[in-house]
Structures are given as structure tokens and as C-alpha cells.
Amino acid sequence: MDRPDIETYIEGVLKRDRRRIAKAITLIESTLPAHQEMSREILDRLIPYTGKAIRLGVTGLPGAGKSTFIENFGTLLTEKGYRVAVLTVDPSSPKTGGSILADKTRMEKLATNDRAFIRPSPSGGTLGGVARKTRETLFLCEAAGFDVVIVETVGVGQSEVTVASMVDFFLVLMIAGAGDELQGIKKGVLELADAIAVNKADGDNVERTLMARRQYEVAFHLLNPASRSWTPPVLACSALTGDGLGKIWDVVCDHRDIMTASGEFEKKRREQALDWMWFLVREGLADWFFGREAIVRLVPEMVRAIETGTMTPTSAASRMLAFLKNNPS
């Protein structure tokens, strides 16, 4: 059986060996403690080789055209000579337990492109768990020399905030709807966007798309810009015909140049790294806390007390946290 050691993984990733890259990602995704230990060491050793890619987040509601966009945009980038990795953050739907993105065959052209690498979201798990693995996979792809890493997420729930926190540029795909364009779009998403692209600007949809574009522009003007040097543009494109995709890439590059010159690029990456550290500390604390035997025993008792109204949530929480004070080490 093929059981490579850490050196083999590191060498394989740096040599851009696709099989080893895929296996290293499988290690990252594994829940076995021994695998987690190994992947931590691999990532630590690869850190000096990371940081050079453009990290691009893409979101949009189901049907907005994300997979069509990534397929053709990714292909365009490979034609420009770039190597492109595509990752997804797709936590299981809390309602159905199934994933939202992975059900259909997606990006067939890109999947067979030598310069591209597509890795679907690790299956199952919470958003935090999926995001953690995707973030580590992003670093691994950078070490493997990918020039652009696209992280796709579906535009529902909290996953957009999570993806925005791991990328340099966050692109929101929209489509022109009937009537009020701002219906169904969360203000929070606009605040995360570094650009909006109104997709499906083709055929007899062009006019409607341009109207929608103007409405989004107005909406943007009502927001306080997140950056002093960047005003998010609203673009129109057709993922299907490829119209406007080149312009979107130009915007991504302009953004990188402008933000680098103002120092905001590095600042954002530093802040993201710090946020990530605190996230891991909080997650580790929670794992540790809920793994204590006394807490495991206390939890059902406290839940019952709340459900039967014999205790207030505040006192139940205090009682559980008192465990920490009494068992500091």
C-alpha cells in the first residue's frame, strides 16, 4: 500500500505532482488524529512557499451562473498562462443534509484542463469545519504554484462571510430579476463585495442586465466603502459567451495593484491571519471544554433544567463555566 511519509508529500506538492497534491488534501480533510498531525506538519513546512497566489472568492445564489462562470473564467486564465485551482465551501444543507453545489456535474472543461485543478468541498460537517479544510487546502495549492485560487460558495447562509475572510477579492454574481433588483440580496453581501458582476448579459437579456447594473450601482453608493482606495465596481458579463470576463480579470488585477500600493493588501492578509488564529483558539477551547467528562455529564442536566423552566439560561451557563474556574489546568 502507498503510505508516503511527510517528505514525500512536501516534495510532491512542490514539484506540482497532481496525485500527491490530491493525496495531501485528503490528509487535510481526514478526521483521524494521526492524519491531522501529519497535515499540520506538512502545512507548517510549506508556509514559506505560500502567499503568492491571487485568492478570489466567487458567490451567487443557485442559478446565478457560478459554475458556468468559473468554467469559462478559469479557462480564460489558463489561456493567459496561469495555473488555476478551484475550491468550494459548501457546508451540508441543515435541512436536507446534502450539499448544495456538488450534486451536478460541474465544470467539465476545466476539470480536464492540465493547468487547472478542481477540488470539491469536503463533504459533511459544519461550516467552520469545512472552511478550516478549505483554507488549509488553499495554502497547499499556493505552495503547489497555482497562480489563482478560486474559492466558490453558494450565496445562502453564512458561508459568504467565511469565504470573504479567506480571499483577497470577493466577487458577487447577480442576475437581473423581474422588478426590484435588490429583493433577495442581503445588504451584508454587498458590504463584502469587491465587485458585483451582473451575469447573463446576452441575447434579449442585455437590456435588463444593464438596468439591474444601474440599480446595484445606486445601492453601492448608499454604502460606506470598506476601503479608502477602492470603490467596488458593478460590471456586466455573460459567463456563457465569455463577454466581459476579460474585463473582470482586469478589475481583479487593478484591485491587487491599488491595494498593494496603499498597503491595504498586506494589512488585510495580516488581519485575516489573526482572525483565523483566534477562530482556531476558540474552536480548540470549545472542543476541549465539551470533551471534559464533567461537562459531558452536566450538559443534559442543564438542557433539561432550561426546558422545564427550573433554571435561567444565565445560571445554567454560569454553572457550566464554573467548571473552568474550579479546574483551571
Residues that bind ligand GDP (CB under 6 A): 60, 62-68, 199-200, 202, 238-240
Sign, Cα dihedral of 305, 307, 308, 309: positive
Report the residue closest to ligand GDP, judged by CB.
Answer: 65
Which residue number, 240 or 306, has a Cβ lying nearer to ligand GDP?
Answer: 240
Whole-angstrom CA distances from 48 to 10, 44, 140, 142 are: 12, 8, 11, 10
Q: Nearest distance from residue 65's CB to ligand GDP, in Å?
A: 3
Q: Nearest distance from residue 264's CB to ligand GDP, in Å?
A: 29
Q: Nearest distance from residue 179's CB to ligand GDP, in Å?
A: 19
Q: State the residue for C-alpha cell 489573526.
A: 274
Which residue number, 22 or 102, has a Cβ lying nearer to ligand GDP?
Answer: 102
Q: Nearest distance from residue 171's CB to ligand GDP, in Å?
A: 12
> Helices in 84-186 by DSSP H: which ranges?
108-111, 127-143, 159-164
Tell me phi and psi for residue 76, to 5 degrees.
-60, -45
| 3-class secondary structure per residue, 21-61 | HHHHHHHHHCCCHHHHHHHHHHHHHHHHHCCCCEEEEEEEC
Which residue number, 62 or 184, has a Cβ lying nearer to ligand GDP?
Answer: 62
Which residue number, 67 or 75, has a Cβ lying nearer to ligand GDP?
Answer: 67
Q: Nearest distance from residue 175's CB to ligand GDP, in Å?
A: 8
Which residue number, 17 or 202, has a Cβ lying nearer to ligand GDP?
Answer: 202
- CA angle in degrees (0–180, nearest 5) for 260-264-267: 115
